[in-house]
Structure 1
Amino acid sequence: MESDRRTKSVQFTEVGKAYSEKIIPKIKNAERKAMSDLSEEQRVALLETTKLFMKHFQKYIYAEE
């Protein structure tokens, strides 16, 4: 799908790969803990707002220049 502008391919250096393997579990853990601090109502509101933001964000990212 080379014509699909939403698809990107990246390659890490060995240093980048080692760093990502170290940091990603910490990020996932922090995200899980932070989400668990929110009430169900707050999580729903966050997800709905994020969806709306992404809709507007994509409109500008994919707009013809």
Structure 2
Amino acid sequence: MGSPRGFEYTERQDGAVVITHLGRQAAVLRGARAAQFLRDAEDDPQRAMARWTGNYKHGNEREARQHPRNR
């Protein structure tokens, strides 16, 4: 599984954090959630943004492809 790409974030003057994915707004975090995100983003910002927006692989894609409903 590769590292997520295409995410960017900007901090607003009011303390909010806006996360975009491929140029489209994916999330707006405010208050304590914004502060927690900024701490999480110190290590690997792309992965943190993917986690916080819910746009990441869960590791079960291969199994889902095998499910009878998806055949």
With the length of structure 1 as denominator, give the TM-score of the two structures: 0.28
- Higher RCO (CA < 8 A, seq sep 6+): 2
TM-score under structure 2 normalisation? 0.26
Higher strand share: 2
Larger radius of gyration: 1
